[in-house]
């Protein structure tokens, strides 16, 4: 049992404090996940199953899924292309660092890493020793939480990861502290930490599986990446998203209802059938008499006229929705042409100016991500005993261009250089080659120079041989 849970600063205290914070944050995670998945308009109140399913079908036909586009506009431009370390001769990227990245399939995992940061405001990267090399594990706020160091917020003071072991039938919490980690468990046949947004109360019954396990690194192995303010990129604008979705839903409802416009008959219509009629004296059933249908024929008394409700003009509603979308795009620094396509006739300078706020936003996210990625890379080199590359102050994360130039623009820029900069600079800054492409280009140039020299030597030998024979 955790006997020191009431003593601040102890492992017991950190474990329970972080577990409670994680549990209290799950409703927020659930809310953001619903917006990410496009289910945000579904009411939280309990409806009967039939009504709820019917509403969901109508909602899916009517919704405008906005937040995923807002997120992808940023994260699609976050692309790690290499690392530089303190090792000699890695101007075009360190191959040893890139091997750590590729071995952990970070081209794939980084998508989740960046997307989770944009959706939830935070994501986590856990570095663990493994037989085939350091292992990187991407996590999010559903199972992971950290507390930053008060003086060095880029370092983790304490953090936990929560899981369930179905074989041992126990919930497991791993506490990560600077220099070590500890494992706590609680027997249970089913996990109590749900993934539906309901709060989690860790409760009692936790015990340590053993003492602290020392890390190779003096820092915690669990790193946090976050946006500048810790909010998701669209989290502060969810009211605007709700308003746009409700406008869309109501507009489509109006369109559908145009086919069911109210009709009526004006005139002196009798309440009962007159004498001489086969149903004389009976009350007239006008619902039966005036059935609606493509081939329906109505017999109206003299002087009667058919009235129909007016058509509702939805153009002002669509205009209002478009204006709301523009405001949302402006507030989230997302280019408006992603939605409305109005930049077809826009100049190159105008297009660049419209994307400038997004470029600054992505650059800020890259700066934030570099801290956690560099820390994880440094710890990976510590685990393999490479002290030179393990210096985190010498590690630089190389990101791809946020707004890549076209091939024509690159060719024009190279022509204007006039051969003054080095080829390495042209490859990196003008042609925007990745480190791997730069190394391949250098190898190709060396091969071409060798083949040219070999051809020249062969030609010289043939010419010399011909001159000798002529003599």
Q: Given this model, what pLDDT does residue 467 score?
A: 53
Decide if pLDDT at 17 tops 90: yes
- Selection from 39, 35, 74, 38 nearest residue 238 by Cα: 35
Q: Given this model, what pLDDT does residue 247 score?
A: 85
Backbone angles phi, psi at 388, to 5 degrees: -65, -50
Q: Identify the residue with better confidence: 246 or 93.
A: 246
Contact 180, 214 (CB under 8 A): yes
What is the C-alpha separation between 373 and 399, in angstroms, rounded? 12
Decide if pLDDT at 40 tops 90: no
- 68-77, 218-227, 281-290, 400-409: range with lowest mean pLDDT: 400-409
- 28-37, 58-67, 335-344: range with lowest mean pLDDT: 335-344
Backbone angles phi, psi at 308, to 5 degrees: -140, 140
What is the C-alpha separation between 444 and 69, in angstroms, rounded? 40
- 155-169, 260-274, 417-431: range with lowest mean pLDDT: 417-431
The angle at the Cα of 82, spanning 415 to 399, to the nearest 5 degrees, equals: 70
Q: Given this model, what pLDDT does residue 164 score?
A: 95
Using left for φ > 0, alpha for ψ between -120 and 50, and beta otherwise, residue 52 falls in: alpha
Q: Given this model, what pLDDT does residue 345 score?
A: 52
What is the C-alpha separation between 302 and 399, in angstroms, rounded? 81
Contact 123, 230 (CB under 8 A): no
**Which of helix, strand or coil describes residue 147?**
strand
Q: Given this model, what pLDDT does residue 6 score?
A: 86
Q: Identify the residue with better confidence: 302 or 192.
A: 192
Decide if pLDDT at 162 tops 50: yes
Residue pLDDT, tens place only, 288-336? 777 777 777 777 777 777 777 777 777 887 788 888 888 898 889 888 7
Backbone angles phi, psi at 463, to 5 degrees: -65, -45
This prediction has a pTM of 0.77
Q: What is the mean pLDDT of residues 224-245?
A: 92
Decide if pLDDT at 468 tops 60: no
Q: Identify the residue with better confidence: 397 or 418.
A: 397
Backbone angles phi, psi at 176, to 5 degrees: -110, 120
Residues contacting 293, CB < 8 A, separation 6+: none
Q: What is the mean pLDDT of residues 107-120?
A: 96
What is the C-alpha separation between 378 and 219, in angstroms, rounded? 11
Q: What is the mean pLDDT of residues 451-463?
A: 73
**Which of helix, strand or coil describes residue 110?**
helix
Q: Given this model, what pLDDT does residue 471 score?
A: 40
Decide if pLDDT at 341 tops 60: no
Task: State the pLDDT confidence band at 356, using cuts at 50, 70 and 90.
Answer: confident
Mean pLDDT of the chain: 84
Q: Given this model, what pLDDT does residue 314 score?
A: 73
Task: State the pLDDT confidence band at 344, using cuts at 50, 70 and 90.
Answer: low
């Amino acid at each position: 049992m955790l006997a020191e849970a009431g003593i601040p600063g102890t492992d017991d205290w950190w474990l329970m404090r972080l577990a409670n914070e994680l549990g209290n944050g799950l409703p927020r995670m659930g809310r953001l996940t619903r917006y990410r998945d496009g289910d945000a308009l579904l009411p939280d109140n309990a409806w009967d199953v039939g009504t709820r399913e019917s509403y969901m079908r109508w909602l899916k036909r009517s919704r405008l899924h906005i937040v995923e586009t807002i997120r992808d506009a940023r994260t699609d431009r976050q692309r790690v292309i290499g690392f530089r370390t303190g090792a000699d001769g890695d101007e075009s990227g360190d191959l040893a660092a890139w091997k750590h990245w590729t071995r952990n399939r970070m081209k794939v995992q980084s998508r989740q890493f960046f997307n989770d940061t944009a959706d939830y405001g935070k994501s986590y990267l856990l570095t663990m020793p493994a037989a085939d090399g350091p292992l990187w594990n991407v996590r999010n706020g559903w199972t992971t939480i950290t507390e930053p160091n008060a003086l060095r917020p880029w370092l983790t003071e304490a953090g936990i990861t929560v899981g369930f072991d179905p074989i041992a039938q126990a919930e497991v919490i791993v506490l990560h502290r600077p220099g070590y980690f500890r494992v706590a468990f609680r027997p249970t046949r089913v996990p109590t930490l749900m993934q539906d947004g309901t709060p989690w109360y860790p409760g009692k019954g936790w015990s340590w599986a053993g003492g602290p396990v020392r890390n190779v690194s003096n820092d915690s192995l669990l790193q946090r990446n976050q946006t500048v303010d810790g909010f998701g990129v669209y989290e502060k604008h969810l009211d605007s998203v709700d308003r746009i979705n409700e406008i869309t839903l109501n507009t489509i409802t109006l369109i559908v209802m145009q086919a069911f416009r109210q009709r009526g008959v004006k005139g002196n219509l009798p309440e009962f059938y007159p004498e001489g009629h086969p149903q004389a004296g009976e009350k007239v059933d006008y619902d039966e008499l005036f059935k609606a249908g493509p081939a329906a024929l109505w017999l109206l008394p003299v002087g009667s006229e058919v009235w129909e409700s007016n058509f509702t003009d939805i153009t002002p509603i669509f205009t209002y929705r478009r204006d709301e979308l523009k405001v949302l795009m402006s507030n989230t620094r997302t280019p408006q042409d992603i939605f409305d396509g109005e930049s077809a006739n826009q100049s190159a300078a105008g297009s660049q100016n419209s994307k400038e706020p997004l470029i600054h936003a992505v650059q800020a996210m890259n700066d934030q991500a570099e801290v956690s990625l560099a820390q994880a890379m440094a710890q990976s080199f510590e685990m393999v005993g490479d002290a030179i590359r393990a210096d985190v102050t010498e590690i630089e994360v190389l990101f791809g261009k946020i707004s890549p130039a076209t091939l024509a623009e690159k060719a024009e820029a190279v022509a204007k250089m006039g051969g003054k900069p080095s080829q390495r600079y042209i490859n990196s800054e003008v042609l925007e080659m990745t480190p791997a492409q730069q190394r391949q280009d250098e190898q190709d140039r060396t091969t071409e120079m060798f083949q040219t020299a070999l051809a020249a030597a062969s030609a010289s030998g043939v010419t010399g041989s011909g001159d000798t024979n002529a003599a």
